A and B are shown apart, each in its own frame.
Chain A
């Protein structure tokens, strides 16, 4: 019986102490991002005893409660949420450029513009009427070009945001590769790389948010990061990403292979969709409003004549095209009397004739005209913002659920840790009790001698 079980009890104390340390570490990191709760795995020590009684307990290893499937799921849903959120932010800003329905929007300005033609028709010889038409036309072109400019600005800022997302991603990719090297080296040296793995988890979470990357872990602890089948990090190698292409066809490409990184998730994908699809489409719809306004008004003007019988085709009201390029004809702006309000070229009948101005006023809300083009544009933008809002809401609950599932496995549950602590405490006390019992036994033996 050797030392009366003292060494076995001592190994128990050591082992329980290690378990207590693990619990302590878990509780300390209960709210650390990327921390995976740890388990101290105990095993029996072989004894030299002929009866086969073991030699006590020891800590075999401290392992992390990782779950690859849940982690991949959480990364994927986080990426999808980040994608929807990035798109939602850009589209909401785009919607904010158009204060509709309201009294200051382009819709209300169009309405006032048509009304000005009514006023002109009532008193065509009065310069106030034609001046008002020119002023309101000027307001419209200003509003259109301002809105177009704001859309362009939004595009620019989305692109620069994409640039910084890619920059951040490159940074993280390099760190992941570096950690790969350290983890492999640490494992090779028999050390415990759990803290490094926690750091890596945190970085992988960032990658899921920025570009929707997914990862797989090899047995040696090295992580491979992929986006849509393209490998970005493998072992100590980290790729660098670049933003390339003109607006409308902006893409993220790999610096090493030149391959285009598919937009499968993450902030970058949401921004790419906004830059390549949504914002150019809004811009072209706004251009369509401007062009429809110009062609509707100029066509009607061409059917009329000025008070002196000059054809309205000579002096269109609008020149240029597109929301940014549409302007009021400088000649008409300088001399509003050039507006062809009359329906006849015969003199003197044209002198005070306002029938063409009246016909113009009746063009409000004409099918395919500027009002309807603008209304359908507003409906489009509203529908798309509503859709992304719903997506964000749905993705938030999906991502929360995935995160909860993951946390249930890898997270730290203080209750569980407490119960574990009590069990460990009792085992420790029992081992200590055993030592004191052995001491008593030794004393009684010595007294007997």
Chain B
């Protein structure tokens, strides 16, 4: 039998069938990939979809988590700082009460009026107790003025500082650490110019005022209205200074928090740029692939009919 048809390549039904099957398979896998893109909204669903983008996405996700953490750290820091500031304001208003009491001793009429003097001493003593209590203020179970040296207590019952180290800090940006508090000695002073000491022989400013009032002599009352008053005013100025430090830290912390939020948004938009599928494009491609898939199926269904066999009676 010689090749009667002659000439070009012959397409036998099995070639046509094989090629149809190959086309259908290609269409199917393309369709699956596009359907995954459309259903997840992501262009990169596994590393092999786009290896470079996959590595970038992992890196951006890490950066996002980090920026989120900076923001969380800043929120925590802002909590510490606002509690510190309000505590210091309470300390200041208590100290103002003490100051008024001290100022009222400036007249001499108090001498020989032990009851009045005793009431002033009681007043100052309660201020001392209040300030000592405020010095032990806790945020989430941690004493805010104890530095890193003590978890729950900054000052003991005798007004001695039992904390240590420096004030804790929060990381709010790469390499950016901001103190969220100040240590007790920086706010309340130490020794005879400190506010809180009650140990006999080394009394702090407030305890000294109480002691001088209780002594009740003209000399001691003069002491109250001169040296003691100066010391008290000095201590108040120190508290005000530290409150200003906390205020500055608060502003800085807020600025970094905004920056972290901005970074988050920038990373998020970069991420969606890399990861998100171009939906209109994906949907259009999907419908094209579906059409060609249907065409291939249609052709396959006609395969057996197109043969000379059909036309021979």
- For residue B43, give the distance in angstroms from its CB to the closest CB of chain A: 11
In the complex, the answer to whether B1 meets A40 with C-beta atoms within 8 Å is yes
- For residue A297, give the distance in angstroms from its CB to the closest CB of chain B: 16
- For residue A276, give the distance in angstroms from its CB to the closest CB of chain B: 21
Instruction: Collect the chain A residues with CB atoms within 8 Å of residue B62's CB.
Output: 107, 110-111, 364-365, 371
Instruction: Collect the chain A residues with CB atoms within 8 Å of residue B47's CB.
Output: 95, 98, 100-101, 378-379, 381-383, 385
Instruction: Collect the chain A residues with CB atoms within 8 Å of residue B165's CB.
Output: 344, 346, 348-353
In the complex, the answer to whether B18 meets A118 with C-beta atoms within 8 Å is no
CB nearest neighbor in B for A42? B1
8 Å CB contact of A352 from B1, B9, B168: B168
Q: How far is the CA of A397 from the CA of B19 in the complex (A)?
A: 9
In the complex, the answer to whether B169 meets A413 with C-beta atoms within 8 Å is no
In the complex, the answer to whether B22 meets A396 with C-beta atoms within 8 Å is yes
Which of these binds chain B: A155-163, A332-340, A398-406, A429-437?
A398-406
- For residue B186, give the distance in angstroms from its CB to the closest CB of chain A: 15
Instruction: Collect the chain B residues with CB atoms within 8 Å of residue A348's CB.
Output: 149-150, 162-165
Question: Which positions 335-374 of chain A face chain B at CB distance < 8 Å?
Answer: 342, 344, 346-355, 358, 361-362, 364-365, 371-372, 374
CB nearest neighbor in A for B312? A418
Query: Is B3 interfacial (CB-CB < 8 Å)?
Result: yes
Instruction: Collect the chain B residues with CB atoms within 8 Å of residue A346's CB.
Output: 164-165
Instruction: Collect the chain B residues with CB atoms within 8 Å of residue A319's CB.
Output: none
In the complex, the answer to whether B11 meets A408 with C-beta atoms within 8 Å is yes
In the complex, the answer to whether A420 meets B4 with C-beta atoms within 8 Å is yes
In the complex, the answer to whether A379 meets B48 with C-beta atoms within 8 Å is no
In the complex, the answer to whether A118 meets B12 with C-beta atoms within 8 Å is no
8 Å CB contact of B15 from A19, A118, A351, A404: A404
Query: Is A412 interfacial (CB-CB < 8 Å)?
Result: yes
Q: How far is the CA of A362 from the CA of B70 in the complex (A)?
A: 10
Query: Is A39 interfacial (CB-CB < 8 Å)?
Result: yes
In the complex, the answer to whether A114 meets B66 with C-beta atoms within 8 Å is yes
- For residue B13, give the distance in angstroms from its CB to the closest CB of chain A: 7
Q: How far is the CA of A11 from the CA of B84 in the complex (A)?
A: 120
In the complex, the answer to whether A19 meets B1 with C-beta atoms within 8 Å is yes
Instruction: Collect the chain A residues with CB atoms within 8 Å of residue B48's CB.
Output: 92, 95, 381-383, 385-386, 389
Query: Is B197 interfacial (CB-CB < 8 Å)?
Result: no
In the complex, the answer to whether A118 meets B14 with C-beta atoms within 8 Å is no
Instruction: Collect the chain A residues with CB atoms within 8 Å of residue B275's CB.
Output: 101
Query: Is A444 interfacial (CB-CB < 8 Å)?
Result: no
Query: Is B190 interfacial (CB-CB < 8 Å)?
Result: no
- For residue A120, give the distance in angstroms from its CB to the closest CB of chain B: 12
Instruction: Collect the chain A residues with CB atoms within 8 Å of residue B58's CB.
Output: 100-101, 105, 107, 371, 374-375, 378
In the complex, the answer to whether B148 meets A122 with C-beta atoms within 8 Å is no
Mark interface residues in B289-313 (1 if CB within 8 Å of A CB, else 0): 0000000000000000001110010
Q: How far is the CA of A386 from the CA of B72 in the complex (A)?
A: 39
Instruction: Collect the chain A residues with CB atoms within 8 Å of residue B146's CB.
Output: 352
Q: How far is the CA of A149 from the CA of B18 in the complex (A)?
A: 40
Which of these binds chain A: B125-133, B170-178, B237-245, B260-268?
B170-178
Q: Given A353-B148, A376-B55, answer yes or no on A414-B44 (Cβ-Cβ < 8 Å).
A: no
Question: Which positions 377-393 of chain A face chain B at CB distance < 8 Å?
Answer: 378-383, 385-386, 389, 393
Q: How far is the CA of A117 from the CA of B9 in the complex (A)?
A: 71
Question: Which positions 136-193 of chain B face chain A at CB distance < 8 Å?
Answer: 140-142, 146-151, 162-166, 168-171, 174-175, 177
Instruction: Collect the chain A residues with CB atoms within 8 Å of residue B52's CB.
Output: 379
Chain A interface mostly: helix
Count of chain A residues with a beta carbon within 8 Å of a chain B beta carbon: 78
- For residue B3, give the distance in angstroms from its CB to the closest CB of chain A: 7
Question: Which positions 60-76 of chain B face chain A at CB distance < 8 Å?
Answer: 61-63, 65-66, 69, 72-73, 76
In the complex, the answer to whether B55 meets A351 with C-beta atoms within 8 Å is no
Q: How far is the CA of A361 from the CA of B69 in the complex (A)?
A: 10
In the complex, the answer to whether A118 meets B171 with C-beta atoms within 8 Å is yes
Q: Given A100-B54, A382-B51, answer yes or no on A342-B22 (Cβ-Cβ < 8 Å).
A: no
Q: How far is the CA of A386 from the CA of B150 in the complex (A)?
A: 57
In the complex, the answer to whether A122 meets B73 with C-beta atoms within 8 Å is yes
Mark interface residues in B1-34 (1 if CB within 8 Å of A CB, else 0): 1011100011111110011001000100000000
Mark interface residues in B75-96 (1 if CB within 8 Å of A CB, else 0): 0100000000000000000000
Question: Which positions 223-241 of chain A face chain B at CB distance < 8 Å?
Answer: none
Query: Is B215 interfacial (CB-CB < 8 Å)?
Result: no
CB nearest neighbor in A for B46? A95
In the complex, the answer to whether A350 meets B61 with C-beta atoms within 8 Å is no
Mark interface residues in A28-40 (1 if CB within 8 Å of B CB, else 0): 0011000000011
- For residue A418, give the distance in angstroms from its CB to the closest CB of chain B: 4
Instruction: Collect the chain A residues with CB atoms within 8 Å of residue B4's CB.
Output: 416, 419-420, 423
Query: Is B283 interfacial (CB-CB < 8 Å)?
Result: no
- For residue A57, give the distance in angstroms from its CB to the closest CB of chain B: 13
Instruction: Collect the chain A residues with CB atoms within 8 Å of residue B166's CB.
Output: 349
Beyond the given A372-B59, A381-B47, A407-B14, could you list 10 further A-B residue pairs with CB under 8 A, ordered by the A residue number?
Answer: A118-B73, A349-B165, A352-B148, A352-B151, A361-B171, A382-B48, A389-B48, A405-B9, A416-B5, A418-B312
Please give me the 7 A-B residue pairs with the lowest Cβ-Cβ distance, nearest first: A382-B47, A349-B165, A382-B51, A385-B48, A353-B148, A348-B149, A411-B12
List 10 A–B pairs whose Cβ atoms lie within 8 Å, in order of A's numbering.
A40-B1, A111-B62, A125-B142, A126-B141, A351-B165, A352-B165, A379-B47, A403-B18, A408-B10, A418-B309
